[in-house]
Structure 1
Amino acid sequence: MTRVLVVDDQFLIRAGLVGLLNAAPGFEVAGEAADGEEAVRLAARTRPDVILMDIRMPGMNGIQATARIITDAPAPAPRVLVLTTFDLDEYVYGALRAGASGFLLKDSGPERLLAAVTAVAGGDALFAPSVTRRLIEAYAHHDRPAPGAPRPPDLGALTSREVDVLKLTARGLSNLEIADRLSISEATVKTHLNRTMTKLDLNSRAQAVVIAYETGLVTPGE
């Protein structure tokens, strides 16, 4: 059973998501919140597996709430699936950097939303990685860390194979595609990626993609 916390300031959208999840087998609504501050409180209390997170909300927005939830949560932290109106919403890149596992358009159909929640809960891959890659490429050069912000981690701790896997992940390839490209098994790809995330102290595949851009391992348009 996948427990989901629904966060959206618009009542009708939130109610629709709650109704969809309650009606679908294998899902349970852990709670619902109308703003970021309420989401932080509920996430700490209910310990959901996945959080459907709106970005633009009054007070604490979805990016700030995502960062707080992932930073404060005991392991394993909940997976955050960002909900957005536009596929190139400038805020989505910030949410991925904060630790969100992926994003989904609000006008996606019920089957796609449930599939996205399942994918994020499994932690294997970003949902729609090609779209996420396009978004990151579009905004990576606009969203550099502010002065005084933590520097990206050093990739020197990674093995050459881990670097190869990280680079291909950032280019939008799935685990299966990476396995084919490097002539290794899909399980080995997952192992390399998990070790990379552990060494770099990352919480999600999305953060690994962002780090690949911020360190210059891959560049927009490459």
Structure 2
Amino acid sequence: MSKKLIIWDFDGVISDTEKLWVENRRRMLNEKFGLNWDFATANRYLGGRSDKTKKEELDRLGIVTDDAFWKEALDRDYELLEEGIELTEGIENIFSNTGLRQCIATGGIKKKTLAKIKSVGIGSYFGEDKIFTADMVEHGKPEPDLFLLAADRMGFEPKDCVVIEDSLAGMTAGLKAGMTVIAFLGFEMNQSTEYLKQVKALGIKHVSYTMEEVEKFIVEQLTKTS
């Protein structure tokens, strides 16, 4: 049995979907509140967070949204899902490794997460006992609650967990949980020099741009503990 637990974020890691949800909310905020946010600004405040923690961040900025706003945002998300999403290249090679213990811990709600998993066809790798979502904890990312829940339910100590994340909020949560964090920057939205500086400023030591690099790091971690 693997001595490490691999914890996957979904949006921006398993599939290039984070940009869809951020862009959807950016447009709605600009339309309804007269903002002039570009994508980078929206990603700074909203990226990697559940809608609950997005709302809290907007409240902090003085942008007060109601339940109708978030229902409309979620409805638009489901419309985007119906158009189809794709699995990140090379990731299924890792999922299919039966020697690894793996689970998903995502800032999305369970219903939406199950729809995403179905859309990319990875349900055979991740049963519901291996899926952990923001609505299962009181505090979402950047707090560590979700990752700690995943580790506990899967029977691992935090120090024996490897988190693969693309967002600053998710990376922060993994570090707060006392886990090893891989920053996956394989998609364009997270490949600016400024974003890499922000990742490094968190203290992230491991940055990967392809799933081949992620797989190599995982193997190295397992070798160290074997």
Place the TM-score, normalised by the shorter chain, in its bin: 0.3 to 0.5
TM-score by length of 2: 0.38
